[in-house]
Amino acid sequence: MQEVFIVGIVFFSIYKIIQLFVLQRERALMIKKMDQISTEMLQSNLSSLQSVQKSKFQSNQFSMLRLGVVGIAIGIGWILGNILNEIRVSLTNNSWGWDSTLFATIALCTGIALIIVYLIERKAVKEAKKME
């Protein structure tokens, strides 16, 4: 077992040494390229970067809402699936199919929740565009 660790440490060390030299060469090439860039090119790239960051912020703005709604939907689906399963078992006296009922209701509730979040996001984006 020690041999495996020794071989792993040797290969990892060799990999890191090679990576060090490659990154050093990359940095030198980047510095040379930076000397060739004009200020107009920097300004245009900066404005495009700002617009990308703004759109990325808008897409990440609703991530916690998505997570929260999906969590609530999974909980509602779980409860609804258990209720439906208990009703089915009491009517048929057959306990087979518990997983299918549970997972189907969870998937259904999660899908509905994601559609609702999509509609909320679309409405908020339209209102933000009207404000601009």
Q: Note the Cα 30 to chain centre separation in Å.
A: 31
How many domains is the chain built from?
1
pLDDT at 57: 59
Query: Encoding tokens for residue 70?
Result: 């999906």
Residue 106: other Cβ atoms inside 10 A: 19
Counting Cβ atoms within 10 Å, is residue 105 exposed (0-12), middle (13-18) or buried (19+)? buried
Range of the domain at 112: 58-131
Whether 106 is in a domain gets the answer: yes
Whether 30 is in a domain gets the answer: no
As averages over each run of 10 residues, the pLDDT of the chain (132 residues) reads 79 84 82 72 69 62 82 89 82 69 85 88 82 70
Whether 14 is in a domain gets the answer: no
pLDDT at 86: 82
To the question of pTM greater than 0.75 for the whole model, the response is no
Whether 43 is in a domain gets the answer: no
Whether 19 is in a domain gets the answer: no
Whether 108 is in a domain gets the answer: yes
CB 101 within 8 A of CB 77: no
CB 102 within 8 A of CB 83: no
Tokens 């209720």 label which residue?
Answer: 83
Whether 80 is in a domain gets the answer: yes
